[in-house]
């Protein structure tokens, strides 16, 4: 396995393992809480994944995790919220939303390896990933209500889409966290594993074995329908299937399938 390492001011460590990129939130003494600088580092990562000439454009999968053993991310650094006026708070929320959506829109599959608590903005970051794997001791929650506030980086939108409105409102309105087992039961997690990073590599391998363009198209169809409604999503789905059917890659895959059937 080849491995190369880059750093973004050391607060986000980016390691490449073959065609899988591992991005580690690197503030373990602060619960990997999300500062403005860390949000900006995630924005740089998303840009590098999506631009045609981006430094990470050739990555096939991305795993986001947290440094240490106790936290994926405890959420937004509370110090960044002190003294904010209304306009500044709204701008900060819009910035986080923009960055998380940019990660969601990247052509690669993005997997959250949740190695500990994922609270507030940390859970919102995990929900902006396509898939989520957590350790058995992980806890997941949206505790903003305990600070007389509400989730602001997508939690009120992504959480109901993942687990349903009633369960999402219960989490948001009580602020009580879920165990990893409960989160798996209600669909917030895809898997629970003793080593979530290793399990995430295994999940990435199952996805990267397929066409990169098809993976991107699948993501685009799903998220378009979520954002713009089922009618628009169905149009997008049909258009993307048309694009794929016209591609040499897809035609070759179909022919190979037919050839295998003839020999069996």
Out of 15, 69, 124, 237, the active site residue is 124
The verdict on whether 124 is a catalytic residue reads yes
The verdict on whether 52 is a catalytic residue reads no
Does residue 118 come out as left (phi exceeding 0), alpha (psi in the -120 to 50 range) or beta?
A: beta
Two tokens at 221? 């169809």
Reported in sequence order, the residue ranges of the chain that DSSP labels E, i.e. its strands, are 3-8, 12-17, 20-25, 61-66, 71-73, 109-114, 117-119, 131-134, 139-141, 178-179, 191-192
Contact 86, 145 (CB under 8 A): no
Two tokens at 187? 């669909």
User: How big is the chain, counted in residues?
Assistant: 264
Out of 37, 144, 194, 226, the active site residue is 144
Residues annotated as part of the active site: 124, 144
């Amino acid at each position: 396995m080849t491995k190369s390492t880059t750093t973004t001011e050391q607060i986000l460590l980016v390691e490449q393992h073959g065609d899988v990129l591992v991005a580690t939130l690197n503030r373990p003494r602060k619960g990997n809480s999300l500062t403005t600088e860390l949000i900006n580092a995630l924005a740089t990562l998303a840009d590098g994944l999506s631009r045609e000439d981006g430094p990470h454009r050739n990555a096939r999968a991305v795993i986001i995790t947290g440094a240490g053993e106790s936290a994926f991310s405890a959420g937004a650094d509370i110090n960044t919220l002190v003294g904010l006026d209304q306009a500044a708070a709204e701008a900060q929320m819009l910035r986080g939303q923009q960055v998380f959506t940019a990660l969601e829109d990247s052509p690669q599959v993005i997997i959250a390896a949740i190695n500990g608590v994922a609270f507030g903005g940390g859970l919102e970051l995990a929900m902006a990933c396509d898939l989520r794997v957590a350790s058995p001791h992980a806890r997941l929650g949206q505790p903003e209500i305990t600070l007389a506030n509400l989730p602001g980086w997508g939690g009120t939108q992504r959480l109901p889409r993942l687990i349903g409105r009633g369960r999402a409102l219960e989490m948001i309105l009580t602020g009580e966290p879920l165990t990893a087992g409960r989160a798996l039961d209600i669909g917030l997690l895809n898997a629970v594993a003793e080593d979530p990073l290793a399990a995430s590599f295994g999940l990435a391998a199952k996805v990267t074995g397929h066409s990169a363009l098809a993976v991107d198209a699948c993501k685009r169809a799903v998220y378009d329908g979520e954002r713009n409604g089922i009618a628009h999503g169905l149009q997008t789905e049909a258009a993307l299937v048309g694009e794929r059917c016209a591609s040499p890659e897809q035609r070759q895959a179909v022919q190979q399938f037919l050839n295998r059937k003839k020999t069996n």
